[in-house]
Structure 1
Amino acid sequence: MNTQHDPKAPGDESGAGGNGADSAAPAPTAAASAATPSDTARLDAAAEGETRPNQIGDPAVLDGTRRWLERAVIGLNLCPFAKAVYVRNQVRIVVSEAPNAEVWFAEAEREMELLAETSADIIDTTLLVHPKLLRDFMDFNEFVGIVEERLEELELDGVLQVASFHPRFQFDGTAPDEIGNYTNRSPWPTLHLIREASIDRAVESMPDTDEIWKRNVATMEALGYDGWNALWNDDPEGAH
């Protein structure tokens, strides 16, 4: 599901800090239609009546995460590979209740091992969501780096990758309010564990994968702030 390039690095003084969502967004320069109602309806219909054994935790946070996936990641085609595994219920979503980052780190370690040991037919990719911890993006970005180091220590580099989404996500070299940052903005801090094999298959099926993030930024620029906010009119959390 990940199509991002490097986020703003901890300690990087270029641009403003990671809490960009607190600033007022400039007026949109263009408008575009977001995900159509039929897209979401089709996704809902695909999952209707089916259990979701891979989705664990607070139902409200699970619902919000699914809405973000359906309306933004899939609905705006920010990740062309997400829909297939999502409708097959191969996306594991785990909402953490860890009281601190240390416990969440231990949970992330267990989930990395579980994903590596489990058939992709059961779990293709994993999202680890925490609705309360690391709301500051710079703190979260540092945490992601520590998780990546642990992945290497477990000798899972080359098997898995770690990507990230955050309510105040900021790419390196961008201003906090730039609309392109919204490609990786999620309702809550989210770690994304991805199989390298899935990435390899995606590259084979879509040779221009390196251009995806550029197209995503163009999509967001066309959508504008009003269009993005309209995706969440019925959602108090949204993905702001």
Structure 2
Amino acid sequence: MTTDHAFVIQAVRNWVERLVVGYNLCPFAKRELVRESVRFTVSEATAEEALLTDLQIELQRLVDEPAIETTLLIHPRVLSDFMDFNAFLDLADGLLAHMKLEGVIQIATFHPDYQFAGTHPDDAENYTNRAPFPVLHLLREASLEEAIDRYPDTAEIPERNIERMDELGVERLKRLLASCSSDMS
């Protein structure tokens, strides 16, 4: 059984446009969307080893193709359990080290059940990192540093995002996240 890539990509793109950009959770995201330098790709992996191989391919692609600013590697068929997903990140970090990409590429993470340490599962702040499907977001560190230099008060972004999520409330956030997959307009 294969994944409907168009559906998965559109759901994640909706999430980026509606939540990440729409609520300015990441002030750097809109620019790259407009420039069409974001690569959305879906992994068919059903096991961690296959996902690690796909991750290696995408990391190398990001190194080799300067027109791609950032990659969202979406993997709907593996690591649906958040604890397994979280544990996998050690392997991802190990791959970065093996490929000598530490300090070159950073991996940010998003998951439908994302939960920050010290929070309850239903805390609104977890929605800053909740996506319709598990996602490994590959970012060029040099570009991230440039964006941070251009943006005032980056240290305030997490706190501002938590406040924004609290204002929206969990029920509205659940509906917003669900609409990314159900409303494909």
TM-score normalised by length of structure 2? 0.91
* Alignment partners' CA distance in 2, 1:235 and 1:151: 31
Per-residue deviation, 1:231: 2.3
Per-residue displacement from partner, 1:75-125 (whole Å, max 9, x unpaired)? 110000000101111000111112311111101011111101221xx1000
Q: 1:227 aligns with which of 152, 172, 176?
A: 172
1:150 equivalenced with 2:95 (yes/no): yes
Q: Which runs of 5+ in 2 are unaligned?
A: none
Report what 1:35 is aligned to.
none
Contact 2:12 2:180 in 1 (8 A): no
* Alignment partners' CA distance in 2, 1:118 and 1:231: 33
Report what 2:78 is aligned to.
133
Per-residue displacement from partner, 1:184-234 (whole Å, max 9, x unpaired)? 000011001010111111121114112211111110000112321342565
Task: Output the amino acid matched with 2:174.
Answer: N
Matches for 1:41-190 after TM superposition, within 5 Å: 58-119=5-66, 122-190=67-135
Q: Does 76-85 or 57-66 show the bigger shift?
A: 57-66
Residue aligned with 1:135, SS: coil
Cα 1:84–1:205, aligned 2, differ >3 Å: closer, same or farther? same
Report what 2:156 is aligned to.
211
Contact 1:182 1:220 in 2 (8 A): yes
Report what 1:4 is aligned to.
none
Q: Which consecutive segments of 4 or more residues in structure 1 shift more than 3 A? A: 232-238
* Alignment partners' CA distance in 1, 2:179 and 2:58: 32
Relative to its length, the structure with more helix (as a share) is 2
Per-residue deviation, 1:235: 4.7
Cα 1:233–1:178, aligned 2, differ >3 Å: closer, same or farther? closer
Q: Which runs of 5+ in 1 are unaligned?
A: 1-56
Contact 1:187 1:237 in 2 (8 A): no
Task: Output the amino acid matched with 1:80.
Answer: P
Aligned-residue CA RMSD in angstroms? 1.6
- Ranked by relative contact order (alpha carbons within 8 Å, sequence separation 6 or more), the top structure is 1
Q: Does 184-193 or 197-206 show the bigger shift?
A: 197-206
Residue aligned with 1:199, SS: helix
> Aligned residues, how many?
180
